[in-house]
Amino acid sequence: MSKTPDSGKTEDERPSTVEQYLVKDPERFALNMARMIEQAGKAASAWAEPREKGEVRDHVAEPVVDMVKTFSKLSEYWLSDPQRALEAQTRLFSGYMTVWANSIQRLSAGGEDADDAVKPELGDKRFQDPEWGRNAFFDFLKQAYLVTSRWAGELVEHADGLDEHTRHKASFYVKQVSNAISPSNFILTNPELFRETIASNGENLVRGMKMLAEDIAAGKGDLKLRQADYSSFEIGKNLATTPGKVVGRSDVAEILQYDPATETVLKRPLLICPPWINKFYILDLNPQKSFIRWAVEQGHTVFVISWINPDERHGTKSWEAYIREGLQYGLDTIEKATGEKDVNAVGYCVGGTLLAAALALMAQEGDHRIKSATFFTTQVDFTYAGDLKVFVDEEQVAAVEKAMNEKGYLDGTKMATAFNMLRSGDLIWPYVVNNYMRGKDPLPFDLLYWNADSTRMAAANHSFYLRNCYLENRLSQGMMELAGRVVSLKDITIPVYNLASKEDHIAPALSVFLGSKYFGGEVDYVMAGSGHIAGVVNPPAAQKYHYWTGGKPAGDFDQWIAEATNHPGSWWPHWQRWIEAKDDTRVPARKPGKHMKTLGEAPGSYVKVRV
């Protein structure tokens, strides 16, 4: 930042001026307000029209009712004891008085260096504009907000009378409300937005309302939040570009086989079972990030299941159907394509949960084709399943089932919204501000394109998953019923590579660690750095993050971490060594289509179906 000759101070050090918040061209500003109202009307029409035609039914009340019930239980705890309520109110009042005293001190002579009553958490990007600190009005708003949100969080933390599920929900909902009411989200309480609105005479709001109308129309009556410039990407062109063929197609899955990149390959082919909640190409975003391409370059004959984006025809497709027509169909296809029965398998997230359940079923049925299993951020025990458990109790599952039964599937936008809410401070509000208030198009970003490429959930499949895993935790307890059998993870005696990621908010590292004890064979637990996506998609060339290896995944999790070995960089080469230690036999490379008819080029047609 440059020095100014008249003051000798940097721009950030100069005092705030009122002029930057005053309208310079009232006529143009008024005209733009009228144009904004016109665009807001189009947004309202885009929301109302599908509802008037009966194409959309709102289920907004259900989550709101659950939030109100949760907050009622929290309020009951604090208000049931007058002394406890008084102490809570006193803490909040004390925080406000500190903010007020600091504000008075800042306004008085020589008070510029008064400490904030509370500071934003490290990494909080909402209050970076200098005006949040040097302008008394915005500084007061910031500190009052932070004091209030911290106090609300502490109410949940110290509510000893709440059961653990209610406490978890209360903490989650408090975080959602706190993120939503942040002064950084509103024009008149965000100095940067205020200045931009004044400087452009409101043209940012015109653009923002136009984008809002477009995004509601794109969501067919629901807001489809724009997180990236989607026009820059096309599946098969600059996403999911690893060359290969479609070598099989069932009602629920296409099976992709990728072209070899080495003269010899490992004898055991590799079958990847991705989640159907997202599309498989998270493992093949681009050549630099692609786990699939990297695995091919290490000598794997890679097969991937590309799940259908279901519609009303797939409403009755159950977990058994996904096992038979997805996983086992993939194994059948591999045998036809390569002649090999012995296979290494990888399951990612819920794809890993399906793989674990399938392995338990196949063990009982005498199907032993999978010789090793690798799980990427996969839960088989859901005791500590993270913030997604907030959405799962009997009332909420019944409501989801009712909504799914109307169409035979759950709309993709519903799942996308749920996942975005897990990190609303990163994945919702920054884009609301950028798009609809600043009126700026988001930047191209392949990961966020993938994140927005939603998939529907087949009704029978999703209901089985919610009830058997999140609600009743039947898989780890040996009570899950599949194909008329009660399956047990103890029957899985093949080697298991169980990968967690340290900052995972979907499959917490603790949850993955505790799940390791339910398998019947040897388990190697590895913890990668970062989260659910970046912890997995971490190519060696990036030289990012760390991973931890240690002893048997048993006992206290914190103790395991304390004794684990920290390795810099990607876990991918470690996994490759683990695979080769099981069987490093090599054979001449296999080309797709040599022994069977192919059905088109990878990445196939199922992955291109959008909602």
Q: What is the largest CA-CA distance in the chain?
A: 85
pLDDT-based confidence at 15, cuts 50/70/90? low
Residue 106 has a pLDDT of 73
Mean pLDDT, all residues of the chain: 92
**CA 237 to CA 601: how far, in whole Å?**
12
pLDDT-based confidence at 112, cuts 50/70/90? low
When computed from its CA atoms, the radius of gyration of the chain, rounded to whole angstroms, is 27
Question: 486-532, pLDDT tens digit by residue?
Answer: 999 999 999 999 999 999 999 999 999 999 999 999 999 999 999 99
- Given a cut of 80, whether residue 3 has pLDDT beyond it is no
Place of tokens 């665009």: 39
CB 611 within 8 A of CB 289: no
Q: Taking the CB of residue 502, how many other CB atoms lie within 10 A of it?
A: 17
Q: What does the pLDDT average to over 435-457? A: 94
Whole-number Cα distances in Å, 609 to 229, 245, 279, 463? 19, 18, 10, 22
Ramachandran area for residue 409 (φ above 0: left; ψ -120 to 50: alpha; else beta): beta
**CA 200 to CA 180: how far, in whole Å?**
25
Question: 91-107, pLDDT tens digit by residue?
Answer: 999 999 988 888 887 77
Domains of the chain: 21-219 (no CATH), 244-386+459-608 (3.40.50.1820)
**CA 293 to CA 241: how far, in whole Å?**
9
Q: Percent of the chain beyond pLDDT 70? A: 95
Structure tokens at 201: 């005479």
Question: 139-169, pLDDT tens digit by residue?
Answer: 999 999 999 999 999 999 988 878 888 999 9
Catalytic residue among 99, 349, 458, 579: 349
**CA 543 to CA 570: how far, in whole Å?**
7
Q: What does the pLDDT average to over 448-457? A: 93
> Is 273 part of the annotated catalytic residue set?
no
How much is the pTM?
A: 0.90
Whole-number Cα distances in Å, 438 to 31, 90, 435, 545, 585? 18, 38, 6, 34, 58
